[in-house]
Structure 1
Amino acid sequence: MTRGRVVVGVSGSLGSLAALRAAVDAARNSGRALVAVTAWEPPEGEILYARNPDSAWAAYHEGLARRMLDRAVEEALGALPEDVAARKLVVRGRAGRVLCALAERPDDLLVIGARPGVRRAPVRRYLQQHARSAVLTAPAPHLSRHTVRALRHARAEDFALHG
């Protein structure tokens, strides 16, 4: 039984859903606890928010982040697995810093998602430079632009069985 944790960054993207599935497998195989994390910041940024703080505005955006994390867990897994010690966290801060702070021990595993062909990945770059734990990058499934566009505009009725 490993003492570390598997920390997975969840943004709701296809890559983060793949990372969530990979993190569950890693937690099961190693006996580690799973921590699914969504980092958030005020949309105007912390500096502008500090000039005119509004706790209701911050609570609203934290709630959006919490609902996104719940939806991502449901889409990727159905629910948190019962055979793994797992929890969800919503943390205010920049994603790279939050993930590095949570996966601070050498026996932790940090799991993130990645889209194929994306060169500009600031969170991944930050983790490569600052993470103290091992980092596993789970690739998102490759979908054509046409498919991605169609899925963004799909409704639940589009998937109903006809017959």
Structure 2
Amino acid sequence: MSGDDACASVRVVVGVSGSLGSVTALCRAAAEARRRGAELWPVLVWQPPDGELAARRSPASVLLVDEWQRLARQRLLDVLEEVFGAAGPGVPLHGLVVRGTPGLSLVDTADREDDVLVVGAGRRGWHRALSGRVARYCLSHAHCPVLAVPPSPLEATLASAHRRNSWHLPLGSRQLS
């Protein structure tokens, strides 16, 4: 095996959902893949809208699985296009759409010791109790290095502006800077 073959087997796996936190993780994963000369594996994990148990109970859900899979694939393509544009990330890209639970599916995908798993670390403050479950699962179960990317500072600013708008409170220029 040549040195180039060994380098090609290194993968940077990143969870992508389309949220601002996952886009931040995707950008960091692309930079990490370029730095390592690795392949970038963005993974979008999906579940039926009412969960797996409800999908098994409903005969209509069997007919919708293909449509849900198609929508998940389209969402991943849209996120990749929005983030990288036509130029792409600058490294080999292997997008993957998986049906399952996010933490388990990401850990199962990043199953090699030389993989790097990149996940968004969730929110800060009191929201942390309600988010970050995927990152915590990956950090405690992965057999490869895990890079937990903190949220962008822009995320807190946007959330604050959204709350003020939904409560019909005026926005001053200090809240936007």
Matches within 5 A, 1:69-88: 69-79=76-86, 81=88, 83-88=90-95
Q: Return the offset for 1:148.
A: 4.3
Unaligned runs of 5+ in 1: 152-163
Residue of structure 2 in register with 1:154 after alignment: none
- Alpha-carbon distance in 1 for matches of 2:152, 2:162: 11
Please, which of 63, 80, 97 is the counterpart of residue 90 of structure 1? Answer: 97
1:118-163 deviation line (CA, Å, top 9, x unaligned): 4132111111221111111222322323434699xxxxxxxxxxxx
Task: Say whether the 8 Å CA contact 2:8–2:39 is kept in structure 1.
Answer: no
- Alpha-carbon distance in 1 for matches of 2:66, 2:164: 32
- Aligned partner of residue 149 in structure 2, secondary structure: strand
Percent of residue pairs bearing the same amino acid type:
40
- Aligned partner of residue 8 in structure 1, secondary structure: strand
Unaligned runs of 5+ in 2: 1-6, 166-177
Query: TM-score, structure 2 length as denominator?
Result: 0.76
Please, which of 150, 154, 161 is the counterpart of residue 147 of structure 1? Answer: 161
Query: TM-score, structure 1 length as denominator?
Result: 0.82
Matches within 5 A, 1:1-163: 1=7, 3-53=9-59, 54-79=61-86, 81=88, 83-117=90-124, 118-120=127-129, 121-142=132-153, 143-144=156-157, 145-148=159-162
Instruction: Give the total of aligned pairs.
Output: 152
- Aligned partner of residue 6 in structure 1, secondary structure: strand
C-alpha RMSD over aligned residues: 2.3
Whichever structure has more helix as a proportion of its residues is: 2
Q: Return the offset for 1:96.
A: 0.6
Larger displacement relative to structure 2 (45-54 or 125-134):
45-54
Whichever structure has more strand as a proportion of its residues is: 1
